[in-house]
Chains A and B, each alone.
Chain A
Amino acid sequence: MADTALFDYACRLGDDSLILGQRLSEWCGHAPMLEVDLSLANVGLDLIGQATHFLKLAGEAEGKGRDEDKLAFHRDVLDFKNCLLVEQPNGDFAQTIARQFLFSNWQELLLRELCKSTNATVAAVAQKAVKEVAYHARLANEWMVRLGDGTAESRDRLVNGLDWMWRFSDELFEADAAIEPLIASGVACDARKLRPEWDVRIARVLKDATLERPKARRATVGGRKGHHSEHLGHLLTEMQFLQRAYPDAKW
């Protein structure tokens, strides 16, 4: 039987990882140093692996025979449920790190809670992924300090990148009617409850990086409903090109 709430929730989890993984893969071959190139690609691959598991679960919950590849490559932009933060362009390396910093610290807290999910698949994926994401957060946090407390140029770039990404952070802590039943049944995590610990973590790293917390601005939201920035369409055009041109191609 179709479980539309679980389908929606698993798409949110999977799409966050998928889209950010795709974004990070854009750095492949372009990062400032070989070591950085590898580390960004590693993070991207971890995320795409998570997306595979969550989208497979989504397909099963939907019960219409769509697997993870169908969901990744044959959905159009309005059907993607990722948060707006992950679809933001890479910008420069500092902007990429600012995005990773905000996201990974949130995702680690989220997955830690999802390890206790009453849905066995969600819990199992979370238990595997939480170790990967703990490292992503650590890597991003270290880079925040190196760039923020680095040269005048690295600091300027990071301040600008963080200022852009910050407006998308409130969306991470939303909970809406669509997933309330899942929160009640212990399948989903109430993201609103993650905010205090996230704020503490963010503040600690910003302090080490000698940076101010960016000014609060009106939050930009809508990703969970499929209302995306124009950037996502361009990303999908590239990511889905092969499957659009040669549907169900195999190699």
Chain B
Amino acid sequence: MSKNNTASSSEAVGQKIWPLWEVFIRAKNGLSHRHAGSVHAADAKMALEAARDTYTRRMEGVSLWVVPSAAIVASDPGDAAELFEPAADKVYRHPTFYVIPENIKNI
């Protein structure tokens, strides 16, 4: 199924399975889009409407992105040791020696 992410995919239609789309919502202007979840839809336009109906019913956002799930390239959990662990002992990369003013949000 992951190969089929367009409406023209006769295989997906034949199996009555719609492709999966990842949904990203911008909560308000100035913030970045954040992953909210996923929806099934036959094509990009319908994915946007399904995302609107599924994830923005309670004023969650001002902008939506949908991306075919199949277009996302993910890191291999098995590579976690070499990808992420080397950062563990490099405390000097954290800006923890600064005091962040209380009125600064979203950092």
Contacts and interface: CB of A to CB of B under 8 A. Distances in A.
Interface of A: 33-35, 38-39, 42, 135, 138-139, 142, 146, 150-151
Top 3 nearest A-B pairs (CB, nearest first) are A35-B50, A39-B53, A38-B53
Nearest to B51: A35
A42 B57 contact: yes
A39 B49 contact: yes
A42 B51 CA distance: 12
B41 interface: yes
B62 interface: no
Nearest to B55: A38
B24 interface: no
A146 B13 contact: no
B64 interface: no
Interface in B26-81: 39-43, 45-46, 49-50, 52-54, 57
Contacts of B13: 150-151
Contacts of A34: 40, 54
Interface of B: 7, 13, 18, 39-43, 45-46, 49-50, 52-54, 57
A35 B41 contact: yes
B49 A146 contact: no
Given A142-B46, A151-B13, A33 B57 contact: no
B18 A33 contact: yes
Contacts of A150: 13
A35 B42 contact: no
Contacts of B40: 33-35
Find the residue from A35, A146, A150, A151 having the highest chain B CB count within 10 A: A35
A35 to B, nearest CB: 4
A146 B42 contact: yes
Contacts of B45: 142
Given A33-B18, A146-B42, A39 B57 contact: no
10 contacts: A33-B18, A34-B40, A35-B39, A35-B40, A38-B50, A38-B54, A38-B57, A135-B52, A146-B7, A150-B13
A139 B43 CA distance: 13
A123 B43 CA distance: 37
B46 A146 contact: yes
A188 to B, nearest CB: 32
Nearest to A40: B53
Contacts of A39: 49-50, 53
Nearest to A41: B53
Contacts of A142: 45-46, 49
Nearest to A149: B7
B66 to A, nearest CB: 12
A136 to B, nearest CB: 11
A42 B49 CA distance: 12
Contacts of B54: 34-35, 38
A146 B40 CA distance: 15
A38 B54 CA distance: 6
Contacts of A135: 52
B13 to A, nearest CB: 7
A14 to B, nearest CB: 23
Contacts of B18: 33
Contacts of B39: 35
